Every structure is written in structure tokens, then in C-alpha cells.
Amino acid sequence: MTMGQLNTIKLTMVKGLQFTAHDEHGHTMILDTETKIGGFDQGFRPMELLLVSLAGCMSMDIVSIVQKKGGQITSFETTIQGQRAEKHPKRFEKIIVKFICQGNYEREDLLRALELSRDKYCGVSATLRDSPDIEFSI
Amino acid sequence: MTMGQLNTIKLTMVKGLQFTAHDEHGHTMILDTETKIGGFDQGFRPMELLLVSLAGCMSMDIVSIVQKKGGQITSFETTIQGQRAEKHPKRFEKIIVKFICQGNYEREDLLRALELSRDKYCGVSATLRDSPDIEFSI
């Protein structure tokens, strides 16, 4: 069995519940949470990063596919909303994603790009659909 | 039926496949991808943000729980690795998370904190385990 790529991320506690994350390509970001539970509110929160991840993956797919079909995109905006469960662990029960694309392209190509991302290309969407095995050590 | 919180994120295309994301609390971040597919490699990639999201959620839970039990944590580092499938959509088939915690605390409290995060508190973990409904419009 051949394997796909292995992605590695490292997190380090900074202060309170604030962490920095490092990827393998030299990027760093702060993640944080609300002050009332011990964060400093200086960066994106973990649950909201899940929405950024899904919206980003699909938006990049759609822009890329429409352009490969010869379309010109002048602006692209995505709004993603996650409805949390009321009780712990307050998972996202429902996610609503709205893409607004402007430019010179065939409407049919845009619709097809959304389908292709959702069903074939977006790894975030596929990971949410088909749960990964997760192992922990501490 | 009462509902939980609604989280909203907005993304805007900057150039190529690079986007900025905005949360509801005034934070902004760049997300990007590799140059060979049209990105500028100036920010975290969507699939890797999914790992940041999961590692961040659980790390914050664990630190918070250990401290509530009276433990002192002087350093906390998390390494998360995601093994991608070889073929599209190259979902994460397996995720391995390793937490390294230093300080003055009961080992039993740390192990219990990991269990509580995994099974009861971490919304990212719960969303990965139990897929949300996702609706799209374009």
C-alpha cells in the first residue's frame, strides 16, 4: 500500500490558553480563545478555524476549477456559518456555506466546480464526511 | 428546541488562491496554498488548518482541566500529524496527536483531562466523529 502525504503541525502554549501553531512551510499563527475562560482573544478560536479550513479548501477548489475552464474571476467571497449544539461538546450540527463569485465565466462551470469540490477534491469536506482514525498519546 | 451558538466566518479572495479570513471578534488571517497550484505560500493551507483546529481545541481543554484540578503547567507542546489518502480527495485517513506537558500536576489528572477533552468537551473532535449536515449555495 502506497501512502499519501503526511502533514505535521506543532503547537506551543504561550500564555493562558493562547497557543502558537507552526506548519512545515515556515508559517506561524496565534490561536486563542475568549478571555472569560482563560484566553487573551488575540487569535482565531479552534472551532472557528474548522470553518476557515472548510471554507478555504472549497473556495480554492472552486476558483481553481473555474479558471481552468477559462473563466475570469474578479472577486470571490465566502460566508460560512456553523450552528453549534447547545450542550457539550457543542459540535457543529449544521454548516451553511455561501459562495459569491463575480467575473466573466459560465454559470454552469461554477455550479460544476462546486460539485467537484464537494464530491471529489476537497479533503476537508471528505474528512468531515468520513471520520479519520485518531490516536492520542500524552 | 433551543439552539447553541452560531459562528460566522468570512473569506475574501486576495490574489491567486490566497484568501483572507475574518472572524466575528476582529481577527484576520491569511490562508494560502503552494505556488505550483496557484497560491503564494504566505499562510496556512486549509487541510493543515484542520489539524491546527483539532490540536488547539484539545490542548486548550487539557491545560484548562489540569489547572482547574490545581495543577501548574509550565510548558505544553502538541504535535499533530495527519496521514492523507493517496488519491483525491486526499482526506485525512489517520491523525496522530502527541501532547507533551511539563509542570507540577498529578499524572492521573492529565490522563483524565485527555479523556474528558476527547469524549466530552472538544467540539472539533466531536464534529469529526459525528459529521455535520452541510448546505451550499452559490
CATH of the domain at A63: 3.30.300.20
Residue A79 lies in a domain: yes
Residues A63 and A86 in one domain: yes
Residue A137 lies in a domain: no
Residues of chain A above pLDDT 90, percent: 98
Domain that holds residue A95: 45-131
Nearest residue of chain B to residue A126 (CA atoms): B91
Residue A124 lies in a domain: yes
Residue B31: its H or E element:
strand B28-31
Contacts with B6 from chain A: Cβ below 8 Å: 81-84
Residues A52 and A119 in one domain: yes
Q: What is the pLDDT of residues B80-138, one digit of tens each?
A: 999 999 999 999 999 999 999 999 999 999 999 999 999 999 999 999 999 999 999 99
Residues A67 and A121 in one domain: yes
Q: Between chains, do A77 and B12 touch, taking CB under 8 Å as contact?
A: yes
Q: Between chains, do A138 and B63 touch, taking CB under 8 Å as contact?
A: no
Q: Between chains, do A123 and B63 touch, taking CB under 8 Å as contact?
A: no
Residues B64 and B80 in one domain: yes
Task: Report d(CA A84, CA A8) in Å as an integer.
Answer: 28
pLDDT, residue B1, reads 52
Residues B40 and B98 in one domain: no
Q: What's the whole-number average pLDDT of chain B?
A: 97
Residues B58 and B102 in one domain: yes
Would strands B92-104 and A18-22 be described as parallel, antiparallel, or unpaired?
Answer: unpaired
pLDDT, residue B120, reads 97
Tally of structural domains, chain B:
2
Residues B15 and B67 in one domain: no
Sheet holding A72-84, edge to edge: B28-31, B18-22, B6-15, A72-84, A92-104, B133-137
B5 C-beta neighbours (distance < 10 Å), count: 11
Residues B61 and B119 in one domain: yes
pLDDT, residue B131, reads 97
pLDDT, residue B65, reads 98
Q: What is the pLDDT of residues A8-59, one digit of tens each?
A: 999 999 999 999 999 999 999 999 999 999 999 999 999 999 999 999 999 9
Does residue A1 have a pLDDT over 80? no
* A126 contacts chain B (CB < 8 A): yes
Does residue B14 have a pLDDT over 60? yes
Residues A73 and A116 in one domain: yes
Q: What is the pLDDT of residues A71-91, one digit of tens each?
A: 999 999 999 999 999 999 999
pLDDT, residue B2, reads 59
Residue A99 lies in a domain: yes
* B106 contacts chain A (CB < 8 A): no
Residue B28 lies in a domain: yes
Residue A136 lies in a domain: no
Residues B36 and B70 in one domain: no
Task: Report d(CA B49, CA A9) in Å as an integer.
Answer: 9
- The confidence band for A2, taking pLDDT boundaries of 50, 70 and 90, is low
- Name the pTM for this structure: 0.97
Does residue B3 have a pLDDT over 90? no
| Interface ipTM | 0.97
Contacts with B60 from chain A: Cβ below 8 Å: 17, 19, 33, 39, 46
Residue B135 lies in a domain: no
* B15 contacts chain A (CB < 8 A): no
Residues B29 and B59 in one domain: no
pLDDT average, residue stretch B27-35: 98
**Cell 503547537, residue located:** A11
pLDDT, residue A3, reads 81
pLDDT, residue A16, reads 97
Residues B61 and B116 in one domain: yes
Residues of chain B above pLDDT 70, percent: 99
Q: Report yes or no: B101 and B59 within 8 Å, Cβ to Cβ.
A: no
